[in-house]
């Protein structure tokens, strides 16, 4: 099952190598996890609670078992191991047992000879629900004295350390106090509340897994995931299996964006495979995919920014409430990110930043590209524009003036590590050429294609107004707050069957589309001077690579591949040095005189020039390496600590056209300047930042998973709209490439930063076009043209800005973490 | 794959199809499948039998006669999109979905689904369309579109075609939705002008359970506009504005309002159909008389058409 990379020529790091899986993906032959099949496999389907909250009085599966073709039905009663699982804390039942806590929560699963019989069996399962009133407002859920929504939930954090939030429905709260007087207020003050809707990762290939029970009592699972080893740990615990018997291999992943960081159908499918002794294919359809994985946290945020009259930011106060939904997922970490980024990429003398992630009966929320940062970036950037307005200052100048530079002290009391070219970025985007004004004679305007709403909306060019907006943001890279999310890789230099030297690489890094398969080959070519690369399938037979998230894999697994390859090279060179009879001091440090270049080992000073094939004739050389990033710290009770490994900054400029009569928006142009570190593959980089920008655009103007009383009402691509090629303009992208000194080759992660800034830049441009305060994303047409409350945050903030804004109530009476 | 257990029938003629329908009593018709297949997959439709219409070639014809344009139920949006004799239908068809949907989706399917946001329904309502149906028991029948939509498809009945009376004047279809292209309509508005007798047909979709006609606005246009001396400039603007206001009023007072959606509060819908109607009238006023036809499509390309 290994695939040689059909790479033309040798392309090491720095080249725009093409994806090895690109042709298969664009021609439709790439096997995604959902395409996997085995003879005799059973088909599994999931039964979900229709109620956002209901007591489960009884489940009767007897009729379902009598449906012809049904092989097994499993419920909570059939879970042999731990009854609950979770990414950070184990609070989510494998199946709802006594109470369903969100609409869409799995209650049972069925395996049958075909999907039709499985579906029929689902319909035959009798679940006796006693509906309870759902709590869907996070403010109500976190109110003092509110009844616990999951009283038997185990501790939420690693070692339960986050559990002491002081409120049963608060996953975690953080209260950062920075400066001599955290509640200091400058001369010019702006404050407001902001609402952020629920975005979905909306990856194209729905969840799927194929599970085969093995003769040794274990299972072999092929699944599309972001983190094989985390899945394995949770699956094994729930199945009551040792981890060695729980073997996972990565299936083809069609997008992830955070939505595959949590376990979804894996345990259900494994239970059915073990119950039936047959291979089981379990898969979601589009609707189930929308219900089955955690989403991006909706947020309600209050900010108060103040500055001196000449535009120096004095203080930021914030209160950020994230709706975590029914189960914890990564809510404890997401709120950490949100609060530590709430002041944005700006130097502030004082800050008081409070945030909480809250349990409700809404769908669970967890990881999505940006991980808590897009929410606050929308807020702080809206505030910066407000402040610029209040000061009569240019918004770019205000940002540039206050932009963090390396060494500036963050609200967590530690200096921000460099490089941190925030100021340069915002100045760079501002200097990009603007698109030409709307030209009524141009074909795009004449046809309507280039007008808001496209052709069928028939906008009148005279009633279209243009706006320009900016946003600057930072995003932390890698896992934070003390996590050692290391990555392991194995490399081997060997002779292929054709006698040609090649590098064989093995990691558990999940390729979810980001291009690790390309980068890994480039790194091995650079380190080992070979052309041919063989990439073993990612699986749990090698050490954990950590998650494909947090902008971390090029740095972490790239670092692991580099380390493993370097160790292989060292060993081979030492072997050659020994064979050449060089002194022990050289054998110990052979790179002093020998090096690998273009398929040869050369040592001009010792007259050595040995083809790699010859050096490998004695056998292959293999090494394993685990890459760690620098250690970080937990936040203390005042929110102080060195929590994040590193940061990347990004700045967007958006230009939009708005139909003033209908409130339709067309994004005309987007410019991005991003702090990228060393660029290993310019093409891959462009793909990442274009994708991140498009996802931010979707959130700005269209993407929202809407719930009514806890029930998702638009779980299809007919109703949940994603940007099309007609919606996303070409990106004018400038990469700023100061190397990150503590990262392999000086890289920075690049996937997340642009997602956070695209949204606020677009909203700022819309504000500039229509002259309204827009406090909510996605921006809806009605927000732009209808009078009154539709334009505001609406019912967003019970209590209003006045009460929640009071410094004393930030964090509340019992508002201290730990 | 579709999750259905229904038996599939594939008649070759309308007669055969109606006989099969009569025998089965309860069956779903399958045309392009763009609405039915998702419903089968979601389990919201669970028919015992499915009658597939693709082989019924009679349904795939279209033509122009003295009493108007007749389009078979099996004609797809893609086939309509470039059809010169019916520029208004063509403009509407071009506004539907994506190329894939236009290739598969049919006129009969649009009537069968009767989605209140269906683009074609809005246009056909404005164009005074008649629906031609056939059943084994009663034979062929012709009903005005609003009556068909109100009563719904009868058991055992097949839509065979729609007929639009001949008109001579510009026809406009406009719609808005959540993005720049390939979107379902939030609201839509269609305007069909007959310059000969000054009549204007105006319908709007996405507001009520079926597309209402804006009668007061139509009356206003009939009374105020002399199509042989079409007003221009400020007068044209004022007419368009007032026309739009009347359509907004019609929308506000329409019966059977659709439930509000998160992106479209009712007052926004009323407002938006008025804006679209005003734009549509402005386009009709600006369309040069006599020079109609596909070549005369003005600004907005796919959406203004003359006949
Ligand atoms: C992604 C997507 C985008 C879409 N975008 C749009 C859009 O922009 N605008 C728009 O208006 N619509 C849109 N639609 C809806 C759809 O394409 C139309 O409603 C289409 O006209 C249905 O035709 P069909 O041939 O596919 O019907 P089918 O799905 O085959 O059938 C639909 C219904 O009509 C019945 N039916 C079919 N033929 C007949 C007949 N001859 N007599 C009586 N009943 C019949 C069927 O039993 C069924 O109930 C979209 C759909 C999808 C999936």
Round to whole Å and give the CA distance between A413 and A718. 47
Q: Cα of B268 to ligand 1 centre, how many Å? A: 26
Q: Are residues B258 and B275 in the same domain?
A: yes
Mutate to test the pocket of ligand 1, among B11, B97, B125, B176 (most ligand atoms within 8 A of CB): B97
Q: SS3 for A526? A: helix
Say if A704 is an interface residue toward chain B (CB within 8 Å). yes
Query: Residue B58: which of B152, B155, B160 has the closest Cα?
Result: B160
Does A159 have pLDDT greater than 60? no
Please state the rounded mean pLDDT for residues A219-244: 98
B69 occurs within a structural domain: yes
Name the residue of B112, B116, B121, B124 to mutate for ligand 1: max ligand atoms within 8 A of Cβ.
Answer: B112
* Contact residues for A741 (Cβ-Cβ < 8 A; gap 6+): none
- Whether the pLDDT of residue B307 is over 70: the answer is no
| Tokens read off for B73 | 């139920």
pLDDT digits (tens, 9 = 90+) for B122-157: 999 999 999 999 999 999 999 999 999 999 888 899
Q: Out of A448, A723, A724, whose CB is closest to B301?
A: A448
Q: Dump pLDDT digits (tens) for A334-353.
A: 999 999 999 999 999 999 99
Pick the CATH number of A33-133+206-253+260-292 from 3.30.390.30, 3.40.50.300, 3.50.50.100, 3.90.1170.50: 3.90.1170.50
> CA dihedral defined by A583, A584, A588, A594, rounded to 10 degrees?
10
pLDDT at A690 over 80: yes
Residue B298 resides in a domain: no
Q: State the Cα–Cα distance between residues A111 and A280, nearest whole angstrom.
A: 7
Q: Is the pLDDT of residue A178 over 70?
A: yes
SS3 A116: helix
Question: What is the DSSP track for B226-262?
Answer: -TTS---HHHHHHHHHHHHHHHHHHHHT-SSBPPPBT
Atom of ligand 1 nearest to the CA of B118: 11
In a domain, B122, yes or no: no
Q: Which residues of B touch A (CB under 8 A)?
A: 3, 5, 38, 41-43, 94-95, 172-184, 186, 188, 262-265, 267-268, 271-272, 275-276, 279-280, 282-283, 299-304
State mean pLDDT over B230-240: 96
Residue A78 tokens read as 């059939």
The atom number, within ligand 1, closest to the CA of B159 reads 42
Tell whether the model's pLDDT for residue A241 goes beyond 80: yes
Pair B199, B106 in one domain:
no
**B155 and B180 assigned to the same domain:** no
For residue A755, is it left (φ>0), alpha (ψ between -120 and 50) or beta? alpha
Q: 3-state secondary structure string, A676-736?
A: CECCCCHHHHHHHHHHHHHHHHHHHHCCCCCEECCEECCCCCCCCCCCCCCCCCCEEEEEE
Q: Is the pLDDT of residue A805 over 80?
A: no
Residues A637 and A816 sit within 8 Å (Cβ to Cβ): yes
Tokens of A675: 């702090």
> Partners of A495 in the beta sheet?
A501
Domain boundaries, chain A: 33-133+206-253+260-292, 487-627
Region A362-375: what's the mean pLDDT? Answer: 98
Contact B3 A287 (CB under 8 A): no
Strands in B121-219 per DSSP E: 130-135, 139-144, 157-164, 170-176, 187-194, 199-205
Q: Does the residue B13 lie in any domain?
A: yes
Residue A812 pLDDT grade (very low, low, confident, very high; cuts 50, 70, 90): very low
Is pLDDT at B62 greater than 60 in this prediction?
yes
Bridge partner list, A32? A252
Q: Looking at the complex, does the CB of residue A664 fall below 8 Å from at least one CB of chain B? A: yes
**Parallel, antiparallel, or unpaired for β B68-72 and B62-65?**
antiparallel
What CA–CA distance (Å, rounded) separates A564 from A317? 46
Whether residue B107 is predicted with pLDDT greater than 50 in this model: the reply is: yes
Could you tell me if the CB of B21 is within 6 A of ligand 1?
A: no
The answer to whether the Cβ–Cβ distance between A447 and B262 falls below 8 Å is no
CA distance A485 to A626: 10
Select from B38, B265, B303 the Cβ nearest to the Cβ of A790.
B265
Residue whose tokens read 């690489």: A505
Question: B160 and B212 share a domain?
Answer: no
B219 and B186 assigned to the same domain: yes
Nearest to A676 by CA among A666, A665, A687: A687
Q: Is the pLDDT of residue A166 over 90?
A: no
pLDDT at B295 over 90: no
Q: Give the model's pLDDT for residue A650.
A: 98
pLDDT at A789: 52
pLDDT digits (tens, 9 = 90+) for B262-277: 778 999 999 999 999 9
Q: A303 with A103: CB under 8 angstroms?
A: no
What b-and-e string marks burial along B54-72, b requiring 16 or more CB atoms within 10 Å of the CB?
Answer: eebebbbebeeeeebbbbb
CATH of the domain at B150: 3.30.465.10
Edge-to-edge strand ranges of the sheet holding A595-597: A595-597, A600-603, A608-611
Strands A99-100 and A54-60: antiparallel
Residue B58 lies in a domain: yes
Could you give the C-alpha distances from A529 to A566, A596, A604, B101, in angstroms and in order?
A: 11, 6, 17, 51
Closest CA to B218 of B146, B142, B128: B128
With respect to residue B300, please indicate whether it lies within any of the assigned structural domains.
no
Q: CA-CA distance, A312 to A348, in Å (whole number)?
A: 9
CA dihedral A494→A496→A497→A499, nearest 10 degrees, is -90
Q: Answer yes or no: same fold for A33-133+206-253+260-292 and A487-627.
A: no
Structure confidence by residue, pLDDT tens digits, A48-67: 999 999 999 999 999 999 99
Q: Specify whether B86 is located in the same domain as B187.
A: no
Query: In terms of DSSP bridges, do strands A188-196 and A299-307 run parallel, antiparallel, or are they unpaired?
Result: antiparallel
> How does DSSP assign A397-438, residue by residue?
HHHHHHB--TTPBPTTSSBPPS---HHHHHHHHHHSPPPPPP
CA distance A251 to chain B (A): 21
Task: Tell me, yes or no, if A661 comes closer than 8 A to chain B by beta carbon.
Answer: yes
Tell me the C-alpha distance between A17 and A497, whole Å.
Answer: 25
Residue A429 sits at φ, ψ, to 5 deg, of -65, -35
Strand order in the sheet with A665-675: A464-477, A646-659, A665-675, A731-736
C-alpha B212 – ligand 1 centre gap (Å) = 20
DSSP-derived 3-state class of residue A760: helix
Sheet-wide strand order for B199-205: B199-205, B187-194, B170-176, B304-306
Instruction: Flag whether residue A154 sits within 8 Å of chain B, measured between CB atoms.
Output: no
- Give the number of other CB atoms < 10 A from CB of residue A86: 22
Q: Helix crossing, A266-276 with A228-239: angle to 10°? A: 50
| pLDDT range class, residue B5, cuts 50, 70, 90 | confident
Question: Is pTM, for the whole model, over 0.90?
Answer: yes
CB contact under 8 A, A458 and B42: no
Q: Note the pLDDT of residue A152.
A: 83
**Percentage with pLDDT > 90 across chain A:** 91
Task: Give chain A's radius of gyration (CA, Å).
Answer: 27
A687 touches chain B (CB under 8 A): no
Minimum CA distance residue for ligand 1 atom 39: B108
Cβ neighbour number for residue A213 with a 10 Å cutoff = 19
Residues 6+ apart with CB under 8 A from A283: A34, A43, A44, A206, A207, A208, A209, A265
pLDDT for A383 equals: 98
Closest-CA distance of chain A to residue B142, Å: 31
Averaged pLDDT of chain A? 93
Q: How far is the CA of B151 from the centre of ligand 1 (A)?
A: 18
The answer to whether residue A780 neighbours chain B at the CB level (below 8 Å) is yes
Percent of chain A at pLDDT exceeding 70? 94
B37: CA distance to ligand 1 center in Å?
A: 10
Report the run of H or E that residue A501 belongs to, with start and end. strand A501-507
DSSP 3-state of A530: coil
CB atoms inside a 10 Å sphere around CB A192: 20
In a domain, B48, yes or no: yes
* CA nearest to A365, candidates A177, A123, A197: A197
- Convert the pLDDT of each residue in A509-568 to its tens digit: 999 999 999 999 999 999 999 999 999 999 999 999 999 999 999 999 999 999 999 999
Does residue B24 lie in a domain region?
yes
- Which position has the token pair 């499915």? B50
Whether the CB of B119 sits within 6 Å of ligand 1: yes
What per-residue confidence (pLDDT) applies to B306? Answer: 40
Domain count within chain B: 2
Question: Which pLDDT value is given to residue B2?
Answer: 53
Would you call A446 and B301 a contact, using CB atoms and an 8 Å cutoff? yes
| Pairwise CB contact (< 8 Å): B180 & A726 | yes
Looking at the fold, whether B154 and B231 belong to one and the same domain comes out as: no
CATH 3.30.365.10 fits A487-627, yes or no: yes
* Residue A3 pLDDT exceeds 70: no
Tell me the count of A-B CB pairs closer than 8 A. Answer: 117
Based on the fold, state whether residues B103 and B214 are members of the same structural domain. no
Partner B, chain A 281-320, Cβ-Cβ below 8 Å: 285, 287
* SS3 per-residue string spanning A248-312: EEECECCCCCCCCCCCCCHHHHHHHHHHHCCCEEEECCHHHHHHHCCECCCEEEEEEEEECCCCC
For residue A118, give the chain B residue with the closest CA. Answer: B3
Higher-pLDDT residue of A813 and A598 is: A598
| Average pLDDT value for residue range A316-332 | 97
Count of all residues that appear for chain A in the document: 818
Mean pLDDT for the stretch of residues A182-207:
96
- Mean pLDDT computed over B29-47: 91
The predicted pLDDT at position A155 comes to 60
Q: Pick the residue of B40, B119, B179 with the most A CBs within 10 A to test the interface with A by mutation.
A: B179
Sign of the Cα torsion A524, A529, A532, A534 reads negative
From the CA of A11, how many Å to the nearest CA of chain B? Answer: 39
pLDDT at A756 over 70: yes
* Domain containing residue B234: CATH number: 3.30.390.50
- Token pair 């964090």 is found at A811
pLDDT at A444 over 80: yes
| Domain identity same for B160 and B13 | yes
The mean-pLDDT minimum among A682-696, A738-752, B170-184, B281-295 falls in: B281-295
Q: Is the pLDDT of residue B301 over 80?
A: no
pLDDT of residue B290: 63
> Could you give the maximum distance between any two Cα atoms of chain A, in Å?
87
Instruction: For residue A192, give how far its alpha carbon lies from the nearest alpha carbon of chain B (Å).
Output: 23
Domain extent for B231: 171-286
For residues B138 and B62, state if they share a domain. yes
Alpha carbon of residue B184 to chain centroid: 13
Residues B72 and B208 grouped into a single domain: no
ipTM at complex level: 0.93
Among A residues 727-766, those touching chain B with beta carbons less than 8 Å apart: 727
CB contact under 8 A, A457 and B280: no
* Amino acid A164: pLDDT: 65
Same domain, B236 and B267: yes
Note whether B300 contacts A706, CB cutoff 8 Å: no
Mean pLDDT of A753-768: 98
The pLDDT tens digits of the residues spanning A8-17 come to 446 899 999 9
Torsion of CA B38, B43, B45, B46, to 10 degrees: 130
Report residue A68 as tokens.
């012809």
User: Once rounded to an integer, what is the mean pLDDT over residues A165-186?
Assistant: 92
Peptide bond into A419 cis (omega under 30): yes
What is the predicted pLDDT for the residue at B3?
Answer: 59
Measured between CA atoms, the residue of chain A closest to residue B94 is A456
Pairing verdict, β A350-359 and A170-178: antiparallel
Residue A799: predicted pLDDT: 31
End-to-end CA gap in chain B: 44
Nearest-atom number in ligand 1 for the CA of B30 is 30
* Chain B nearest-CA residue for A786: B268
**By mean pLDDT, which of A489-493, A724-728, B65-69 is the weakest?**
B65-69
Q: What is the pLDDT of residue A165?
A: 78
In Å, how far is B173's CA from the nearest CA of chain A? 7
Residue A463 φ/ψ, nearest 5 degrees: -110, 25
Could B271 and A786 be called an inter-chain contact, meaning their C-beta atoms sit closer than 8 Å? yes
Contact B300 A458 (CB under 8 A): yes
pLDDT band at A804 (very low <50, low <70, confident <90, very high): very low
Which among A115, A456, A790 has CB closest to B175?
A456
Q: Which of the four pLDDT bands, split at 50, 70 and 90, describes residue A698?
A: very high
Q: What is the C-alpha to C-alpha distance for residues A474 and A756, in angstroms, rounded to an integer?
A: 8
A678: CA distance to ligand 1 center in Å? Answer: 51
**How far is the C-alpha of B165 from the C-alpha of B142, rounded, in Å?**
13
Residue labelled with tokens 């294919």: A281
- Residue A261 has a pLDDT of 98
């Amino acid at each position: 099952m290994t695939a040689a990379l059909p790479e033309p020529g040798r392309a090491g790091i720095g080249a725009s190598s093409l994806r090895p899986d690109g042709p298969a993906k664009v021609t439709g032959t790439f096997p995604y996890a959902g395409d996997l099949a085995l003879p005799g496999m059973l088909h599994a389907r999931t039964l979900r609670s229709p109620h956002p909250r209901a007591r489960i009085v009884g489940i009767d599966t007897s009729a379902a078992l009598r449906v012809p073709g049904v092989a097994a039905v499993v419920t909570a009663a059939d879970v042999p191991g731990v009854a609950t699982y979770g990414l950070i804390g184990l609070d989510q039942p494998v199946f709802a047992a006594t109470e369903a806590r969100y609409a869409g929560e799995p209650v049972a699963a069925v395996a049958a000879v075909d999907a039709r019989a499985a579906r029929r069996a689902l319909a035959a399962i009798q679940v006796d629900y006693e509906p309870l009133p759902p709590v869907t407002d996070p403010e109500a859920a976190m109110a003092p004295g509110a009844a616990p929504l999951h009283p038997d939930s185990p501790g939420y954090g690693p070692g339960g350390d986050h559990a002491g939030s002081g409120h049963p429905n608060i996953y975690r709260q953080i209260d950062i106090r920075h400066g001599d007087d955290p509640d200091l207020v400058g001369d010019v003050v702006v404050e407001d509340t902001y609402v952020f809707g629920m975005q979905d990762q909306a990856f194209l290939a729905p969840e799927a897994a194929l599970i085969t029970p093995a003769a040794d009592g274990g299972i072999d699972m092929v699944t599309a995931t972001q983190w094989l080893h985390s899945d394995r740990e949770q699956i094994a615990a729930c199945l009551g299996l040792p981890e060695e018997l729980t073997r996972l291999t990565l299936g083809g992943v069609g997008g992830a964006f955070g939505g595959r960081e949590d376990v979804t159908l894996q345990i259900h499918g494994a239970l059915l495979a073990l119950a039936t002794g047959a291979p089981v294919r379990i898969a979601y359809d589009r609707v189930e995919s929308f219900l089955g994985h955690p989403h991006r946290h909706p947020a309600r945020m209050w900010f108060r920014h103040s500055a001196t009259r000449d535009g120096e930011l004095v203080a930021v106060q914030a209160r950020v409430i994230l709706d975590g939904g029914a189960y914890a997922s990564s809510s404890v970490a997401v709120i950490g990110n949100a609060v530590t980024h709430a002041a944005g990429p700006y130097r502030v003398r004082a800050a008081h930043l409070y945030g909480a992630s809250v349990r409700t009966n809404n769908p669970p929320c967890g990881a999505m590209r940006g991980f808590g940062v897009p929410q606050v970036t929308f807020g702080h950037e809206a505030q910066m524009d407000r402040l610029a307005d209040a000061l009569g200052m240019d918004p770019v100048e205000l940002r540039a003036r206050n932009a963090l530079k390396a060494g500036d002290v963050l609200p967590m009391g530690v200096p921000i590590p460099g490089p941190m070219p925030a100021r340069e970025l915002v100045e760079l985007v501002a200097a990009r050429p603007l698109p030409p004004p709307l030209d009524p004679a141009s074909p795009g305007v004449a046809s309507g294609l280039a007008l808001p709403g496209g052709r069928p909306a028939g906008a009148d060019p005279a009633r279209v107004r243009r706006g320009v907006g900016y946003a600057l943001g930072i995003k932390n890279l890698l896992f934070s707050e003390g996590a050692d999310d290391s990555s392991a890789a194995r490399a081997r230099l060997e002779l292929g069957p054709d006698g040609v030297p090649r590098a064989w690489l093995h990691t558990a890094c999940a390729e979810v589309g980001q291009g690790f398969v390309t980068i890994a080959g480039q790194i091995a070519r650079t380190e080992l001077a070979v052309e041919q690369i063989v990439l073993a399938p990612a699986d749990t037979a090698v050490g954990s690579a950590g998650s494909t998230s947090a902008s971390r894999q090029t740095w972490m697994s790239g670092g692991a591949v580099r380390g493993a390859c370097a160790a292989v090279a060292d060993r081979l060179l030492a072997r050659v040095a020994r064979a050449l009879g060089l002194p022990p001091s050289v054998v110990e440090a052979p790179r002093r005189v020998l090096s690998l270049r273009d398929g040869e080992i050369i040592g001009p000073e010792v007259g050595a020039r040995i083809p790699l094939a010859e050096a490998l004739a004695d056998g292959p050389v293999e090494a394993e390496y685990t890459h760690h990033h620098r250690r970080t710290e937990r936040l203390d009770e005042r929110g102080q600590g060195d929590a994040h490994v590193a940061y990347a900054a990004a700045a967007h400029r958006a230009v939009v056209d708005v139909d003033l009569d209908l409130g339709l928006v067309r994004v005309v142009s987007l410019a991005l300047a991003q702090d990228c570190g060393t660029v290993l593959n310019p093409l891959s980089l462009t793909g990442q930042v274009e994708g991140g920008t498009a996802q931010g655009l979707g959130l700005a103007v269209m993407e929202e998973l809407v719930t009514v009383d806890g029930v998702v009402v638009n779980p299809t691509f007919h109703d949940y709209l994603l940007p099309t090629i007609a919606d996303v303009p070409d990106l004018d992208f400038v990469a700023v490439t100061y190397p990150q000194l503590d990262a392999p080759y000086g890289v920075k992660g690049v996937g997340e930063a642009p997602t956070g800034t695209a949204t606020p830049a677009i909203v700022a441009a819309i504000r500039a076009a229509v002259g309204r305060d827009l406090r909510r994303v996605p921006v809806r047409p009605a927000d732009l043209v209808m009078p009154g409350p539709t334009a505001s945050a609406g019912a967003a903030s019970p209590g209003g800005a006045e009460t929640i804004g009071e410094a004393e109530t930030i964090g509340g009476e019992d508002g201290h973490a730990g | 794959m579709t999750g259905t257990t229904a038996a599939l029938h594939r008649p070759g003629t309308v007669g055969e199809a109606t006989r099969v329908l009569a025998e089965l009593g309860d069956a779903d018709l399958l045309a392009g499948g763009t609405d039915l297949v998702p419903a089968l997959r979601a389990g919201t439709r669970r028919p015992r039998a499915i009658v597939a219409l693709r082989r019924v070639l009679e349904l795939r014809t279209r033509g122009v006669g003295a009493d108007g344009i007749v389009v078979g139920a099996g004609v797809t949006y893609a086939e309509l999109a470039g059809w010169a004799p019916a520029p208004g239908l063509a403009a509407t068809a071009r506004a539907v979905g994506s190329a894939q949907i236009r290739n598969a989706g049919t006129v009969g399917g649009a009537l069968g689904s009767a989605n209140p946001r269906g683009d074609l329904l809005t246009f056909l309502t404005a164009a005074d369309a008649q629906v031609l149906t056939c059943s084994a028991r009663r034979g062929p029948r012709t009903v005005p579109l609003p009556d068909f939509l109100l009563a719904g498809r009868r058991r055992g009945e097949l839509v065979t075609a729609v007929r639009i009376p001949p008109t001579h004047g510009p026809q406009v279809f406009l719609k808005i939705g959540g993005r720049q292209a390939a979107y379902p309509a939030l609201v839509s508005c269609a305007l069909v002008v007959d310059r000969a007798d000054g009549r204007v047909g105006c319908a709007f979709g996405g507001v009520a359970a079926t597309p209402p006609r804006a009668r007061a606005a139509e009356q206003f246009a009939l009374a105020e506009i002399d199509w042989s001396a079409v007003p221009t400039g400020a007068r044209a603007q004022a007419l368009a504005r007032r026309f739009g206001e009347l359509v907004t009023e019609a929308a506000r007072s329409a019966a059977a309002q659709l439930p509000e959606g998160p992106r479209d509060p009712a007052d926004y819908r009323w407002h938006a159909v008025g804006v679209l109607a005003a734009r549509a009238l402005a386009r009709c006023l600006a369309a040069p008389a006599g020079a109609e036809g596909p070549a005369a499509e003005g600004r907005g390309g796919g959406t203004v058409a003359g006949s």
